[in-house]
Amino acid sequence: MSGSLIIAIVAAAVVSWLAYILSSVMKKEENPDPGPNRREPLSDEVLETKRLDRWLAAAVVFSGFLAISLPLYFLTEENRQESFVDAFDEEAVERGHHLIEEFACESCHGPGFVGGAASYVEKRSDISVSWAAPALDDIFYRYDTEEIRFWLVYGRANSPMPAWGLAGNGPMNDQQIDDIIAYLSSIQIPQEEALAKADTGVTVALNRLSNATASVELSVAAQEQLIGEIESAPALLPVVEEYLARAQSALDGAGEGLDTDDDGISDVAETTIAAVMAEAAESGLEFGGAAISAVALDAGNPESSFGVADRQAARTAVSSLNSLATNLRTTAGNQEQLLMRAQSGLDYLLEARAAEKWLVDTDGVADATFGGSSDDAGRAVGLFDAYCARCHTAGYSAGAAYTQEPGSGSLGPALWNGRATVQFLSADDMIDFIANGSELGKPYGVNGQGRGYMPGFGQVLTQRDLELIVEYLRGETLRGF
């Protein structure tokens, strides 16, 4: 629209408005209105008519409607507010689920949070271990909401559990932590199932104890293999680099030459890469637990492996060689330092194998504490390992080879050498403490000060199981000898 047309429209509008105002003024001059305050009042006959009665009747009806509807509205307000809360909680759970997936929490705590393992460098040995991560599908039976928030925000030092909250230098704000808590609350198993876990936990703990020596032997063998690989890296490196050079050269020239199946990789490249990978696989070359695998590449079929294009398969094969060469190059370049560290770790394992600090003689415990009852002693030892050792036995979560003497102390205090009887003058006091856990700032026992770290086990263990644990801890020996 041009500028002159706009000006014309505005001018016409102004003229029309002025004409309207002038017309209104002239009409008022012809029939002047005295105004509402100067008019003659209406008579009662005019005012008190059926029209007024109708308005009064309508007002009465409307007042009755308000008198009935407002109380009814407020009677349903509580349900309405509860529905808002439910909707908010559902949204929080959904957001928490997204955060769980984004930060891969189940990679450590297991699918469905039934418990899992995390990679961690054990500090006494400097060896990379698989650290047992606890189940979280029953955590609300052991901790209250604020205690769970603390662990999420600040993590657990000297373990794979990192800090997730901003206050602990983690990546999540308070709202995200709340959403994680909401999600965890939504996946809690029934208490009956939580109680039933005790039998499985005892069985697993006692099996670990009986297989501890074999487990340590495996750890020693794995460390010896690591040392052997470090020593072999300089010799293996040129072999792998030669395979890589041949395969990479073929891949780089894959766009040139005859391509029978028209898959973007030439027949020569497919044949060469397949031959190189087959030769490398037949050599039995292995490093860091990774072995080279042959790859199927058929020049007459664009997908020699079902669902995988030959071009992609060739790239993946060459990438695996490149990764292996990089690992060998790094290892060979730092061989002296890596060997020193690995040998130190082996020395630690050999000393652990000789010391057998993980060893517990349940028959000895039975004779010393349970009046010869092997069943009670076995269950007590199993319960302690399943529910208490994570915090009260150093190295327990890292595996048998790294486990120190039972009750040696870790995140929680040591419980050996009669410590339980020093802190708690009676078994009943100790049972009550284990059942309810500690509270921040609240005293317990003779001279204990609660920090909120100690969970309560009263909802996941029976009274008899609590009694067995206390009897074991207050007995003469935790190892049975």
User: What residue numbers bound the domain in which 456 lies?
Assistant: 357-473
Query: Does residue 208 form part of some domain?
Result: no
Nearest to 176, CA basis, from 283, 70, 100, 241? 100
Looking at the structure, tell me whether residues 228 and 180 fall in a common domain: no
Looking at the structure, tell me whether residues 183 and 227 fall in a common domain: no
Query: Does residue 207 form part of some domain?
Result: no
Looking at the structure, tell me whether residues 310 and 232 fall in a common domain: yes
Query: Does residue 15 form part of some domain?
Result: no
pLDDT of residue 85: 73
What does the DSSP 8-state code read for residue 167?
G
Is residue 138 a contact partner of residue 197, using CB atoms and an 8 Å limit?
yes
Q: How far apart are the first and last CA of the chain?
A: 102
Is residue 263 a contact partner of residue 309, using CB atoms and an 8 Å limit?
yes
Query: Does residue 54 form part of some domain?
Result: no
pLDDT of residue 291: 84
Is residue 240 a contact partner of residue 325, using CB atoms and an 8 Å limit?
yes
Query: Does residue 200 form part of some domain?
Result: no
pLDDT of residue 460: 97
Sign of the alpha-carbon dihedral angle for 301, 307, 308, 309: positive
pLDDT of residue 306: 77
Looking at the structure, tell me whether residues 276 and 362 fall in a common domain: no
Is residue 464 a contact partner of residue 425, using CB atoms and an 8 Å limit?
no
pLDDT of residue 75: 79
Q: What is the pLDDT of residues 30-87, one digit of tens each?
A: 556 666 677 677 676 666 667 677 788 888 888 888 888 888 777 777 777 777 777 7
CATH code (residue 163): 1.10.760.10
Looking at the structure, tell me whether residues 430 and 406 fall in a common domain: yes
* DSSP E strand stretches across 177-247: none
Looking at the structure, tell me whether residues 97 and 181 fall in a common domain: yes
pLDDT of residue 424: 95
Walking along the chain (481 residues) 10 residues at a time, the average pLDDT comes out as 62 72 62 66 68 79 84 77 78 96 96 96 96 97 96 95 96 97 97 97 97 97 96 95 95 91 91 93 86 88 85 93 95 96 98 97 97 97 97 97 96 92 95 95 91 94 98 96 94
What does the DSSP 8-state code read for residue 189?
P
Looking at the structure, tell me whether residues 393 and 297 fall in a common domain: no
474/424 Cα distance (integer angstroms): 9
Looking at the structure, tell me whether residues 222 and 337 fall in a common domain: yes
Q: Count Cβ neighbours within 10 Å for each residue of 86-125 and write b for 16 or more, e otherwise.
A: eeeeeebbebbbebbeebebbebbbeebebbbbebebeeb
Looking at the structure, tell me whether residues 148 and 227 fall in a common domain: no
Query: Does residue 65 form part of some domain?
Result: no
Is residue 273 a contact partner of residue 251, using CB atoms and an 8 Å limit?
yes
Looking at the structure, tell me whether residues 283 and 368 fall in a common domain: no
List the helix and strand counts (H, then E) for the chain: 18, 6
Looking at the structure, tell me whether residues 181 and 220 fall in a common domain: no
Query: Does residue 415 form part of some domain?
Result: yes
Looking at the structure, tell me whether residues 325 and 256 fall in a common domain: yes
Query: Does residue 48 form part of some domain?
Result: no
Q: Is 454 helix (H, G, I), strand (E, B) or coil?
A: coil
Q: Whose structure tokens read 């074991």? A: 472
343/295 Cα distance (integer angstroms): 36
Q: How many residues does the chain have?
A: 481
Give how many domains the chain has, as a whole number. 3
Q: What is the pLDDT of residues 136-148, one digit of tens each?
A: 999 999 999 999 9
pLDDT of residue 206: 97
Nearest to 427, CA basis, from 465, 461, 474, 364? 474
